[in-house]
Amino acid sequence: MMKKRNLLPALVIVIIFFGGIFTGVLITGNKSESGQSNTIKIDNAPKSAIKPKEKALPQIDKTKSKVLISYVQDYRDPNMIDYSKLTHVIFSFAHPTKDGGMLLNGDQPLKNLRTIVMKAKKTNTKVEIAVGGWFHMYGGESYPYFQAAISNPTSRTKLVNELTSFAVREKLDGIDIDFEHPRSNADAQNLAAFAKELSQQLHPKKKELSVAVYPKINANTLKEIGAVKYDPSMFQYVDHVNIMAYDGQWDDGYHAENLSTYPYAEKIVEYWGNYFDQQKLSRDKLVLGVPLYAQPADPKIKQVSYSTIVNQNPANAANDTVKMNGTTYYYNGDTTMKKKTKLALEHGFGGMMLWEAGHDAQGPKSITSILFGAIKDSSKEPLKYYTVKKN
């Protein structure tokens, strides 16, 4: 009798335990065929009992949304690039062929590109390759080669496939189109078709597409230039539009002082900002380019790099002109660079672009560092200009 009495409490516990499980199953049920759980709706519960816990809004670092892009020529030493300050490095150039092929200028450029990709990954810096440019490896301008390649649907598709395959194989983050420059409506339409087709290949692979564009403003008269054509549909397919706001010395004769002035940048920012507003495109795609080289007053003398100017005298970094080699050179010093960065970002632009990394100074006088700091500081100030979204 004592043994039977000792078993009774244990039996009660077992019945209660399994009864609770069975009751829970009846209440919650299994998931229906539609994938929804059959749960009991509590209509009379107090609101405080079913109010979800409020979550704090995520903290967003505004500087991460702004880009600092630098082109780098294919013969540069990959070790001289400050990857930590850049969001993108654009390796220049892949050369198009008329039948839609692409070429690099020898074996060394490919080795340099692979080193850049390896180093850039350490700082989460994206690497793209630019196709086109002004000069072609076969001599002369790239224009006739690029124009022929994108004018024919067959060669255009071939070039798209060549670039995409190369980007995948070399673990690149995207492609930059540098067609200098579309000179007719047909050119503009073919370029737009090329961008669309390339976008359809790259974006599903989580790769970016950017395009370098002519500034469309005469540096001397500060009026619009109509000779270069763009089809506005092209800009919907790209992630960044890198405005080449330099080389103004060639407008209306040779004027070295017009290389890339602040008033020139103001008109370019105004023009492209308004253009994108009219096309209902986000200004955040726009990137203002600045030069890292100096233009000589005497056209018979070669350009010099910003690093050459600063190495001669670090105080030159604060100026926009310097006398060397028996001539005056015009360039953008750090004060002008900061002003241009502020100008672009206050007008809703997505960031800044440099041509090109190989011309920059090293250390604290580096323009890359100056622009990086200016972009970072801009995040502390409210924007003065906004893009108005029209319904």
Is the residue at 2 inside a domain?
no
Which residues lie below 8 Å from residue 330, measured CB to CB, with a gap of 6+? 249, 256, 257, 259, 294, 295, 297, 320, 321
Is the residue at 19 inside a domain?
no
Is the residue at 142 inside a domain?
yes
The closest of 101, 78, 103, 102 to 89, measured between CA atoms, is: 78
Instruction: Render 307-359 in DSSP notation, one character per residue.
Output: HHHHHH-GGGGG-SEEEETTEEEE---HHHHHHHHHHHHHTT--EEEEE-GGG
Write the CA distances from 154 to 73, 161, 227, integer angstroms: 29, 11, 27
pLDDT of residue 382: 56
Predicted TM-score of the model (pTM): 0.82
> Considering only 175-184, 290-299, 377-386, which range has the smallest mean pLDDT?
377-386
Instruction: Render 178-221 in DSSP notation, one character per residue.
Output: EES---SHHHHHHHHHHHHHHHHHHGGGT-EEEEEE---B-TTT
Distance CA 272, CA 237 (A): 17
CATH code of the domain covering residue 173: 3.20.20.80
**pLDDT at 344 exceeding the cut of 80:** yes
pLDDT of residue 378: 87
Is the residue at 305 inside a domain?
no
Distance CA 176, CA 195 (A): 10
pLDDT of residue 11: 34
Read off φ and ψ for residue 246, nearest 5 degrees.
-155, -175
Per-residue pLDDT tens digits for 64-122: 589 999 999 999 999 999 999 999 999 999 999 999 999 999 999 999 999 999 999 99
Per-residue pLDDT tens digits for 8-64: 333 333 333 334 433 333 333 333 333 333 332 323 333 333 334 434 433 334 345
Mean of per-residue pLDDT scores for the chain: 86
**pLDDT at 3 exceeding the cut of 50:** no
Confidence of residue 340 (pLDDT cuts 50, 70, 90): very high
Is the residue at 279 inside a domain?
yes
Is the residue at 300 inside a domain?
no
pLDDT of residue 380: 73
pLDDT of residue 193: 98
What is the number of structural domains in the chain? 1
Is the residue at 258 inside a domain?
yes
**pLDDT at 5 exceeding the cut of 60:** no
Per-residue pLDDT tens digits for 211-220: 999 999 999 9
Is the residue at 182 inside a domain?
yes
Q: How many alpha carbons lie under 13 Å from residue 44 in its C-beta half-sphere? A: 0
pLDDT of residue 236: 98
User: Any bridge partners for residue 294, and if so which?
Assistant: 304
Per-residue pLDDT tens digits for 121-169: 999 999 999 999 999 999 999 999 999 999 999 999 999 999 999 999 9
pLDDT of residue 65: 82
pLDDT of residue 27: 34
> Considering only 11-20, 103-112, 170-179, 282-291, which range has the smallest mean pLDDT?
11-20
Write the CA distances from 356 to 69, 71, 129, 132, 318, integer angstroms: 9, 5, 14, 15, 19
pLDDT of residue 18: 39
Count Cβ neighbours within 10 Å for each residue of 147-176 and write b for 16 or more, e otherwise: bbbbbeeebbebbbebbbebbeeeebbbbb
Instruction: Please provide the size of the chain in residues.
Output: 391
Range of the domain at 349: 63-294+332-378
